[in-house]
Amino acid sequence: MDSEIAVDCSPLLKIYKSGRIERLMGETTVPASLTPQNGVVSKDVVYSPDDNLSVRMYLPVKAAETGEKLPLLVYFHGGGFIIETAFSPTYHTFLTAAVSASDCVAVSVDYRRAPEHPIPISFDDSWTCLKWVFTHIAGSGSESWLNKHVDFSKLFLAGDSAGATIAHHMAMRAAKENLSPELSDSGISGIILVHPYFWSKTPIDDKETKDETLRSKIEAFWMMAATPNNKDGVDDPLINVVQSESVDISGLGCGKVLVMVAEKDALARQGWGYAAKLEKSEWKGKVELVESEGEDHVFHLMRPDCEKALEAMKIFARFLKGLM
């Protein structure tokens, strides 16, 4: 029966015995708009016709008028690889504000979600999008905003939660696989990891939660996204980036990293550990970590106008502007 529930992950989603998936949040969308919002216009562009995947692009109105070339932010949304899209009100609001504050162009990536499309499909789609972005580096790609308005010497990756995990792995892959014949390096200036979703079977330090119920929920969410391809659980190198000694991040393909964590977030210690691991490695770049005291996971998306969220946005923008 289609009404029989196999897995109940309320308030996020339900999976029925028939295989049907009912997402309970992150499914609402808002349209892009060429009518300025906070001085920013937006539009949707297909990057992968074969899989019918699109990005939502954001452009400051003044750049459209002057033809000025700006830094580019490629953003990967969060949602545990399972919920949310690049077109939700949550991410439209965040990217509009980020572009306005940072004076940049943004590409917000939509990727196929688990469990229908298990990991690593979300990573592969994100890589396909990055390669599409770099077809515009010489100014002759299919999308005019990228041709006319982007300074490709200032390209940044960012994401929150699962999107931060994707951003890290894209920067690692870019150091090994050339994104464009026009490049002599990775092509990525820096990355911003907001409340990154890294995890491990056992706590990485004495401050990380030891609550078995909570740890099991975090692990179960990963397993839901990664099954059937996953054989190592949360010790998979895609998520156990920090604790695993076999995961070398010294080859990260960018020169600077900003890690943002929230004090009450169960994932916060992983963010601290990631920054420490980078600093101890042979990576030659600069890493900075900023903690929002008294806040929990992705609070800035839930309450974008609160004081701590506005502070976080200022830091986000300063990094993109090269002021950190």
> Which CA distances in Å does 217 have to 45, 211, 213, 274?
36, 10, 6, 22
Of 42, 100, 161, 200, which one is the catalytic site residue? 161
Other C-beta atoms closer than 10 Å to the C-beta of 234 total 22
With CA atoms as reference, report the closest residue to 70 among 193, 189, 191. Answer: 189
Tokens encoding 289: 């970590």
Q: Is 100 a catalytic residue?
A: no
DSSP 224-281: HHHTTT-SSGGGSTTT--SS-TT---TT-SSSEEEEEEETT-TTHHHHHHHHHHHHHS
- Pairwise CA distance, residues 323 & 316, whole Å: 10
Other C-beta atoms closer than 10 Å to the C-beta of 5 total 13
The neighbouring-strand residues paired with 43 are: 57
C-alpha angle 114-116-120 in degrees, rounded to nearest 5: 50
DSSP 55-120: EEEEEEHHHHHH---EEEEEEE--STTTS--TTSHHHHHHHHHHHHHHT-EEEEEP---TTTS-TT
- 137 CB-side CA count, 13 A: 19
**SS3 of the chain: helix, strand, coil, percent, to 5:** 35, 20, 45
Q: DSSP secondary-structure letter at 315? A: H
Give burial (CB, 10 Å; 0-12/13-18/19+) of 175: middle
Catalytic residue numbers read: 161
